[in-house]
Structure 1
Amino acid sequence: MLSKARKLAEIVAVALLTAMFAAFLLQIFMRYVVNQPLGWTSEACVILYIWTVFWTSAFLLDESEHVSFSMLSDAVSPVARRVLTIIGHVILGLAFASALPAIVDYISFMKIDSTPVTRIRFDIVYSIFPVFAVAVVIRSVLALYRAIRGRNESPSHTPEAL
């Protein structure tokens, strides 16, 4: 079931990237070939980019694929690294979990405004962010569990998975 959900997430990510690329190509064609630029294509590219980044970050990227600053943890012993990992995931999970009500409230509030050209409400444009925030909390809990049990690697990076 998890592999089917991941496959669906990949299909959605590919569709988002494909739509963004198509809008980008249409924008270039209309501007430089037809000499009739379209305003909505720029907006579509930005909206699709926002959705692509948060969608893939929430559902497709492993922990090791996210940007991290690990100079300190790389310089300490494995025990200290484990402690830093636990502290980091507790802070990250609590920060996103405690911010979630405010995130949802603010995005709900954003329905009062919309994008300039396509008139898509901003609450719809940014509705992917609470999904991302929930995914960060879930990933933090799972990573915390692995760190406490002494398994710092994500399941997809174990030798058996490769």
Structure 2
Amino acid sequence: MLRLLKKAAELVALALFLAMFGSFLLQIFMRYVVDRPLGWTLEACMASWIWVVFWSAAFLVDEREHVTFDIFYRAASPAGRRIMATLSGLALLAALLVATPASYDFISFMAIDTTPVMHIRFDLLYAVFMFFLAAVIVRTAARLLALFRSDWRAQISSGMDR
């Protein structure tokens, strides 16, 4: 079931990327070959870019694939790594939980406005950010729980925390 959901998320990301790339190519063609630029293509590129970035970060990009600055983390002992991972996880979880209600309120408020050309409501455009927040909160909580299990050393050495 999990593999099926991941495949579905990949297909959504692919469709978003193809929409972005297709509208980008159409924009170039219409502007420089036909000399009749289309206004909607820029908005389509931006909207699909916002969605593909947050969608992919929420559901497809593994924590190990993110860019990290881990000089001190790698130099620490396993116990030190556990402490650093726990503190950073707690800080991230707290920040995201505090930000979630305000993010939801702001995104809901943005329903009053639309994009200038395609008239996409801004709340729909930025709704993907709530998926992103929820996914990162769940992943961070799972990471913290794993760090408090008796096999926490295996979690650190397995690359979960790099």
What TM-score does the superposition give when structure 1 sets the normalisation length? 0.91
For the 8 Å contact 1:97–1:134, the answer to whether it is kept is no
The range that moved more, 37-46 or 73-82, is 73-82
Q: Distance in 2 between matches of 1:136 and 1:67?
A: 15
Q: Distance in 2 between matches of 1:121 and 1:85?
A: 39
Can you list the C-alpha shifts for 1:106-159, whole angstroms capped at 9, x where unaligned? 00011111112111111111000011001110010111122223113467x9xx
- Report whether the alignment pairs 1:33 with 2:52: no
Match of 1:43 in 2: 43
Question: Equivalent residues in 2 for 1:68-147 (5 A)?
Answer: 68-147=68-147
Can you list the C-alpha shifts for 1:41-67, whole angstroms capped at 9, x where unaligned? 011101100000000000001111123
Q: Distance in 2 between matches of 1:101 and 1:133?
A: 11
Q: Distance in 2 between matches of 1:71 and 1:104?
A: 35
Give the % identical residues: 49
Runs of 4+ in 1 over 4 A off after TM superposition: none
- Give the CA RMSD over aligned residues: 1.5
Match of 2:67 in 1: 67
Q: Which runs of 5+ in 1 are unaligned?
A: 158-162
SS in 1 for 2:120: coil
Number of matched residues? 156
Q: Which runs of 5+ in 2 are unaligned?
A: none
The range that moved more, 141-150 or 21-30, is 141-150
For the 8 Å contact 1:115–1:121, the answer to whether it is kept is yes
